[in-house]
Structure 1
């Protein structure tokens, strides 16, 4: 029902946008060389980076032709060596003029005889022609041919494959996605060499026309999830997509939630692992972060390195992340509740020590916590936005100096500085950055409940949080799976990880078919003994 209401809202917005804009039906190429060329020149007259080169082809050099490409987006070497030189050189293999301009003949002649480039297609509309030029392709216009020929010559400079900066590991691959969509799909193809790995592309954005690729493994993925992904992407009607965050916000199931219901990563091995579990990857051109759906809550506490270490080490680290999640969420709240309402819970020596520290502090514990948390958030944001050479040093030194000065000035107590520091360090343990931001927001709400109702307020907040998490869906899959609903088979790879030879099946709620990942090693050994 929630998805239906969201789809109706998108349809209304789309119809309103279409009604407010004039109808621009794409015009066909006329087939008249001079008119088509004049129209193209007019469209790009203010674009100095679009190159238009006219020449003549044929043995008698009587056939007028032109190539159009965008400098910087197309590979100039490919254009010169494999298009211009091939067409302008005299040869006896040129098709006679009487057959050259029939609709299929020129295209076949270009494909099979003259042009040594990878992908060649026919263009019949001006809008399609402009999009191809601005995507790095080269357009070939020939006098007498009613359409145009598009040759794949994309060759712009990109960042290349480097180590991911946001998701580092001690053991594992050091390669990360780049801003080039074709590089990203190739990195995934390197991991999964299977013809069932499908890659479907579409353009989103009326102005930017951003390339978006959808990758999944046929036979493993749930076909309904793939259909839902296509449906939601097709309903997007926006002028531009500059990063995957645009799409993430437009296709997510629930808008008003602090928790991420779509997973993002810049590691090809993580995407490959999710595809093998039956998920769908959404790759957006221009960003190194790939979206993965459906996403689960427990997925934000798992990293690829868990599967490269021994099972006992991976289990210990996962438990540590869960403990850090609880500390980051309710650490300051618990301190505020105990020191304000429940002093009897503390041992007498500790209570006396805390009372001595707070003797000169003029603010209640809640105000102390707010001051320190806001100050630390300012320092953290400043450290991120400042130049990398000085940002980290400024944030660390600033925290130490301000914390020490605040204690000496009597504004906050030393124990509060310790609590906020442990909370901040615990927040950095989360592998998923957007989950860490969610906890940072919820921490302030939990502190307010603790200051108002003590431990009862914290309990009430955690219950409300648990109910909210259980109400979330990610492309139809319960967000808290496999805990709610509880799936015993999937507990092998959640809070703890069993050895690889015990991970026999894929997640049941994510994958509805081809559940088996490997044969049962124990059953095989028993069969061999018998």
Structure 2
């Protein structure tokens, strides 16, 4: 027998509070609700008598439609001809639900009643009956649908998600009109009770993926969930990796396309940025506009993004390795120009690059925090003035300013901010390796990065698919985009139940058959 043993206790889920039942006593329920909402000045609790029956009404001010409640609810129950007895009054209210055009909820749990009131429902309870009635009459200010701020396109829809989850679900439903589109809702957060909806296409999305998403979200126990990033950090396969393992977007058409490919989407109330899982590395090099342009242009731009992504990651490190350890690899004329430019610089190339990169990142961050009216001008002028002054003072060489500027521009070509930020972070350790070991250190950095990428998984799916492991059919929509009439199957690595995407035949194929 071990010296110390302790039984594991089952910890209750903080997202599901205990139920409270107080029966049919009116005073007990009225006082319990007043005690629960004590010192809540925005909660209205009052009592009225309708058809010789005591009724209690509870609602949250500024979150309900008072006019609609007066017209469709109070006008009925205060009408003397509505019922002739107490029993008939209760029957009409609860069994007939009072108003056929309005969905209502019948409940007996007091804790659930509190949650519904805080969600914008109007609660009515009666003397002599334990059942209560909640009317969803939410009315509050919300942001109108506008254009995407970070995923603009020349051709394509101009709608973006908003903070209201019901509006976001509606925008997805408008694009995918089938009952196979499932929306499974959960509540997260001990105090926030945030609505989280898992969307997927039944028959297309693999059931194992849906079940895994539900299990990972169900394990989250937090005091509050205020955005999708709270969930993202709790469901990643490799939370310490710098690379994103779920795709963030603000466009409904991107979410609809992901659902049609067999992926799942996680929508969070209060944030306009849902999560798409599982993902691959190539998805972060694809822009929504690729599917609204001709395939030749889209493929060219994807190759361009891939090239500049590599340039953004390795260009400063390559320059440091050449100038520090391998100057014989530089052409003679170029070497003389670089040597003349660095003649008065007191720092080695590595320190010079670190100073410029850190300054560039500081200017980029300052441009985001400064008010928009002057932010862009300050960041551009700051970069020009500081760069020119540093070159004239002999602190930084002119070639280093050019290299850091090109690297910064290349990092902006990446369509998704998360991947661009990961590349910016990885640039620093690779620069240190190049400054310490030259080209050998650069190759070590590239090899370690690639090994890490191959090892990554997103909900069990290979992160580098369809390159590693190789899926020839999936290459049609990865680093290039073939015409729609050639993309007849969904990505195989997702493991969809229905792999057939289309059966479109191009006219050349029809002529061959004839």
Matched with 2:94 is 107
Matched with 1:74 is 64
Moved more, 44-53 or 269-278: 44-53
The question of 1:125 aligning with 2:109 is answered yes
Unaligned runs of 5+ in 1: 1-11
Contact 1:82/1:116, CA 8 A, preserved across alignment: no
Matched with 1:316 is 300
Q: Distance in 1 between matches of 2:106 and 2:303?
A: 57
Q: Distance in 2 between matches of 1:174 and 1:101?
A: 50
User: How many residue pairs are counted as aligned between the two chains?
Assistant: 507
Matched with 2:53 is 63
Contact 2:18/2:111, CA 8 A, preserved across alignment: no
Contact 1:340/1:451, CA 8 A, preserved across alignment: yes
Matched with 1:5 is none
The question of 1:236 aligning with 2:184 is answered no
Matched with 2:3 is none
Question: How far apart are 1:101 and its partner, in Å?
Answer: 4.4
Q: Distance in 2 between matches of 1:371 and 1:405?
A: 14
Matched with 1:225 is 209
Give 1:253-264 correspondences, 5 Å limit: 253-264=237-248
Taking structure 1 as reference, are residues 245 and 206 closer, same or farther at Cα in structure 2, changes over 3 Å only?
same
Contact 1:29/1:147, CA 8 A, preserved across alignment: no
The question of 1:395 aligning with 2:388 is answered no
Matched with 1:52 is 45
What TM-score do the two structures reach when normalised by structure 2? 0.95
Question: How far apart are 1:520 and its partner, in Å?
Answer: 4.5
Matched with 1:87 is 77
| Correspondence for 1:32 among 19, 25, 31 | 25
Contact 1:101/1:144, CA 8 A, preserved across alignment: no
Contact 1:508/1:515, CA 8 A, preserved across alignment: yes
Question: How far apart are 1:100 and its partner, in Å?
Answer: 4.6
Q: Which consecutive aligned stretches of 4+ in structure 1 deviate over 4 angstroms post-superposition?
A: 14-19, 99-102, 522-525
Matched with 2:318 is 334
Taking structure 1 as reference, are residues 212 and 452 closer, same or farther at Cα in structure 2, changes over 3 Å only?
same
The question of 1:325 aligning with 2:309 is answered yes
Contact 2:490/2:496, CA 8 A, preserved across alignment: no
Q: Distance in 2 between matches of 1:523 and 1:517?
A: 19
Q: Distance in 1 between matches of 2:453 and 2:84?
A: 68
| Correspondence for 1:502 among 477, 486, 491 | 486
Matched with 1:9 is none
Contact 1:117/1:151, CA 8 A, preserved across alignment: no
Give 1:270-289 correspondences, 5 Å limit: 270-289=254-273
Q: Distance in 1 between matches of 2:505 and 2:191?
A: 54
| SS in structure 2 at match of 1:287 | coil
| SS in structure 2 at match of 1:169 | coil
Q: Distance in 2 between matches of 1:191 and 1:134?
A: 31
| SS in structure 2 at match of 1:306 | helix
| Correspondence for 1:168 among 125, 147, 152 | 152
Contact 1:220/1:511, CA 8 A, preserved across alignment: no
1:420-469 superposed Cα distances (whole Å, 9 cap, x missing partner): 00101111111111111111110001100100111111111111111111
| SS in structure 2 at match of 1:521 | coil
Q: Distance in 2 between matches of 1:455 and 1:235?
A: 45
| Correspondence for 1:138 among 122, 138, 143 | 122
Q: Distance in 2 between matches of 1:126 and 1:524?
A: 68
Matched with 1:192 is 176
Q: Distance in 2 between matches of 1:143 and 1:116?
A: 23
The question of 1:97 aligning with 2:90 is answered no
Question: How far apart are 1:386 and its partner, in Å?
Answer: 1.3
Q: Distance in 2 between matches of 1:419 and 1:254?
A: 33
Q: Distance in 2 between matches of 1:18 and 1:189?
A: 35
The question of 1:156 aligning with 2:146 is answered no
Question: How far apart are 1:172 and its partner, in Å?
Answer: 1.2
| SS in structure 1 at match of 2:385 | helix
Contact 2:188/2:224, CA 8 A, preserved across alignment: yes
1:25-82 superposed Cα distances (whole Å, 9 cap, x missing partner): 3211322112101111111121111122322222xxx111122111122222322222
Q: Distance in 1 between matches of 2:19 and 2:333?
A: 81
Question: How far apart are 1:527 and its partner, in Å?
Answer: 7.5
1:264-316 superposed Cα distances (whole Å, 9 cap, x missing partner): 11100000000000000100000000100101111101111100000001001
Contact 1:282/1:292, CA 8 A, preserved across alignment: yes
Q: Distance in 2 between matches of 1:57 and 1:225?
A: 52
Q: Distance in 2 between matches of 1:161 and 1:238?
A: 30
Question: How far apart are 1:528 and its partner, in Å?
Answer: 8.2
Matched with 2:34 is 41
Give 1:484-523 correspondences, 5 Å limit: 484-522=468-506
Q: Distance in 2 between matches of 1:517 and 1:329?
A: 36
Taking structure 1 as reference, are residues 447 and 88 closer, same or farther at Cα in structure 2, changes over 3 Å only?
same
| SS in structure 1 at match of 2:154 | coil
Q: Distance in 2 between matches of 1:77 and 1:414?
A: 69
The question of 1:404 aligning with 2:388 is answered yes
Q: Distance in 2 between matches of 1:339 and 1:524?
A: 55
Question: How far apart are 1:137 and its partner, in Å?
Answer: 1.1
| SS in structure 1 at match of 2:95 | helix
| SS in structure 2 at match of 1:509 | helix
Q: Distance in 1 between matches of 2:84 and 2:248?
A: 52
Question: How far apart are 1:85 and its partner, in Å?
Answer: 2.0
Question: How far apart are 1:529 and its partner, in Å?
Answer: 4.7
| SS in structure 2 at match of 1:65 | strand
